[in-house]
A and B are shown apart, each in its own frame.
Chain A
Amino acid sequence: DVKVTQSSRYLVKRTGEKVFLECVQDMDHENMFWYRQDPGLGLRLIYFSYDVKMKEKGDIPEGYSVSREKKERFSLILESASTNQTSMYLCASSRRQGYYGYTFGSGTRLTVV
């Protein structure tokens, strides 16, 4: 069964901490994405990557950075966590061609206190 695995289901961090959210996929997908989901706002794209070491800003990149050193791993970094970054974070992956949609991870519920 193909999978996108996010390292933590629930995370509590303090304001100002540097936070790493990890995502690994085993489908050899080229594309990987980070979204956050908030009530009433739907899924908002933070960053995406079409290849190793490549990254593109999404709709709400401020306060975040990403790293993709290997094809299967895409990391989201909160440089200095703030309370407005409390959210559900979702990682997804897809093939570059022959498009069949995204496969999502189970999500990380991050609370910043």
Chain B
Amino acid sequence: DQQVKQNSPSLSVQEGRISILNCDYTNSMFDYFLWYKKYPAEGPTFLISISSIKDKNEDGRFTVFLNKSAKHLSLHIVPSQPGDSAVYFCAASARGAGSYQLTFGKGTKLSVIP
């Protein structure tokens, strides 16, 4: 049973427009969420995170929104740049339950078209 779901395997966006990547989760114990970015032939790198006590966290062009009632989070990239083309993984953990292990979604491949 997939506890973290990224239902869109791929997304194409024009340069300069907004990219919105979505993630749904089923485990109500998850209280900390992260986004990782991965280029081909490289390891994933941490992008941005959010705790369940917040509903929004912003870092430059990247904003993560959390809707706890819907068990949904999204990553907004504004404006999108060609260098943002990568696979984005959503991840979650249940720190309050004592588990620091991450559960990952399957990833969304973002292509930003110049």
Give the B-binding residues of A (Cβ under 8 A): 4, 6, 9, 31, 37, 40-43, 48, 88, 90, 92, 94-97, 99, 101-107, 109
Chain B residues within 8 Å of A92, by CB: 43
Q: Which of B22-79 contact A (CB under 8 A)?
A: 32, 34, 36, 38, 41-46, 49
Known: A101-B34, A104-B43, A104-B45. A42 touches B89 (CB 8 A): yes
Give the A-binding residues of B (Cβ under 8 A): 9, 32, 34, 36, 38, 41-46, 49, 89, 91, 93, 95, 100-102, 104-107
User: Sorted from nearest, which 10 A-B pairs have the closest CB atoms?
Assistant: A42-B106, A104-B43, A99-B100, A43-B104, A106-B43, A104-B44, A107-B43, A105-B43, A101-B34, A42-B107
- Return the chain B residue nearest A94 by Cβ: B100
Tell me the interface secondary structure of chain B in the complex: strand
- Return the chain A residue nearest B32 by Cβ: A99
Chain A residues within 8 Å of B36, by CB: 104
**Complex CA distance for A105 and B86, rounded to whole angstroms:** 17
